[in-house]
Structure 1
Amino acid sequence: MTGSGDVGTGGHSHPGGQGQPSVSYTGGVKPEHLAQTLSELARTLQLEESLDDTLTSIVAAAVPTIPGTAFAGLTVVQGKRSVWTRAATHELARRVDQAQYDTGQGPCLDAVFEHRTVRVADLTRDTRWPDFAGRAAELGVRGMLSFQLYVEHDNLGALNLYSPEAGTFDDESEQVGLLFAAHAAVAMAGARREYDLGQAIGTRDLIGQAKGILMERYRLTADQAFVLLVRTSQHTNVKVSEVARILAETGELGPEQRRAPAPE
């Protein structure tokens, strides 16, 4: 599932830009008890044990925290263009997100790729995304509020908030949502780093185990064993890590790769 274009650069200080309220914002709201709520959110997210648990907690907390929200979804970015919904509080949020991915337009994609906050009072009256708006109306969604999730030098995705009623998102929703999104992005980035580190360690261990099998089986050096894994990967068009996993689990590489490479 892909978005509408490459991530843009620059121009983030204008109204509606990165980390800023939308162009609909009129300013000045100071919600009570917000600092305490966000502190509790930060502590809760820090306790989560996995990336998926962190993302699920973010969308679950967004609904009661950000005024006007009935459902929430979290879009993640992979590479520059690929987007998908990794967490949602309701199937409806996933369906509305998918409608944006299918049509290549909508508040979520604008938040991700144009680096801005997008607020929609009533999708049935908004003309910016005609194809998506019709799909959203059929699904029963009228109000939307999307925030880009980012940390320095890294576009993580978007937090998308939905309402079946028009006019439920206001300035307070934006101010609370911007602060919420900032906390969520930091927690998400940290959880993703831990996930990537865990994946890297797991891959390294698998490759090490596979090399050990080949070294013993064919009396190879460590370098020769790795060459054999790489050649198998290239021949089968399968990632080295997957070749290593299959070898570690089954003891098999493939009929053409069972002989050791000639010493180099």
Structure 2
Amino acid sequence: MAGNRTTTTHFAQLARAMGAAGADEDRLMLAVEAALDLVDGCTQAGITINREGDCQTLAATSDVMSSVNSWQNELAQGPCHEPDRTEEIVVISDLARDERWQTWGRRVHDEHGLRSTISLLVYSTKGTYGTLSLYADRPGAFDGDDLATAQAIAGHLAVSLAASREIDGLQLALSSRTVIGQAEGIIMERLSLDADQALAYLKRVSSQTNRKLVALALSIVETRELPEA
């Protein structure tokens, strides 16, 4: 079980570290490292994303996760193989005897000596970001406390990823608005138009040329040339 090591302090530190991380890749690594450190019995951990039936390893504590996922692809079996998985939690107490994905489970056991796993969806109200999978080298390694700890790690990661992507979206929107404003200024100066007329000009040319408004504005700013309207 997770024991006394897993405290509120650990999760506060994890939340701060994820918030301060510069990229999503760093947040993913923080999550798998936390799983290895905070969940007793966990010997391997990884984040997997399923892209149209192809399991891809986004972060892992070792190369073992890459082979585990490659077998899910090869055999079309495993907890991460279904692209539209809805099960929040999958628990396999003994991979060597699992009946649901027999061939995959047996290979994971035979090749890497892993016996049990828990796999959790990493999701928030903003979307699903993959699965967090933990493995152990003995059967029945994970108890209720371990599962709760893994869920907390997955939850922290989901919230951090959602916040990061929302900020990225706001920054992109702000950048787009800035470029459009700069293009409007050039149009106003060149064609002696007011702000509303300059924006109307941009929208008209965008529609006529089938170019996105931001791409058109960026071209005007970079070349200082106006397309024909």
| Bigger share in helix | 2
**Matching residue's letter, 1:126:** D
Runs of 5+ unmatched residues, structure 1: 1-28
Q: Identity over the aligned pairs, expressed in percent?
A: 27
CA RMSD between the two structures: 3.9
| 1:138-194 deviations in Å (ceiling 9; x for gaps) | 76363322112223464333212234x342631043232122222222222222222
**Matching residue's letter, 1:184:** L
2:203 corresponds, among 215, 221, 226, to: 226
Partner in structure 2 of residue 88 of structure 1? 60
| 1:97-138 deviations in Å (ceiling 9; x for gaps) | 354356554223569722321122333322312464466457
Matched, 1:40 2:17: no
CA contact under 8 A between 1:112 and 1:155: conserved in structure 2? no
Greater RCO (Cα-Cα under 8 Å, separation 6 or more)? 1
**Cα shift at 1:250:** 5.7
CA contact under 8 A between 2:47 and 2:131: conserved in structure 1? yes
Give the Cα–Cα distance (whole angstroms) in 2 for the partners of residues 219 and 186 of structure 1.
48
Residues 86 and 203 (structure 1), Cα distance of their counterparts in 2 relative to 1, 3 Å cut: farther
Secondary structure (helix, strand or coil) at the match of 1:108 reads coil
Secondary structure (helix, strand or coil) at the match of 1:174 reads helix
How many residues align? The count is: 222
Matched, 1:144 2:112: no
Secondary structure (helix, strand or coil) at the match of 1:193 reads helix
CA contact under 8 A between 1:76 and 1:86: conserved in structure 2? yes
Residues 252 and 137 (structure 1), Cα distance of their counterparts in 2 relative to 1, 3 Å cut: farther
**Cα shift at 1:71:** 2.9
Structure exhibiting the larger radius of gyration computed from Cα positions: 2
CA contact under 8 A between 2:120 and 2:131: conserved in structure 1? yes
**Cα shift at 1:200:** 2.8
Partner in structure 2 of residue 13 of structure 1? none
Q: Please, what TM-score do these two structures have when normalized by structure 2? A: 0.71
Give the Cα–Cα distance (whole angstroms) in 1 for the partners of residues 207 and 55 of structure 2.
30
Partner in structure 2 of residue 4 of structure 1? none
Matched, 1:51 2:19: no
| 1:55-87 deviations in Å (ceiling 9; x for gaps) | 232222222122222332223578x98975433
Q: Please, what TM-score do these two structures have when normalized by structure 1? A: 0.63
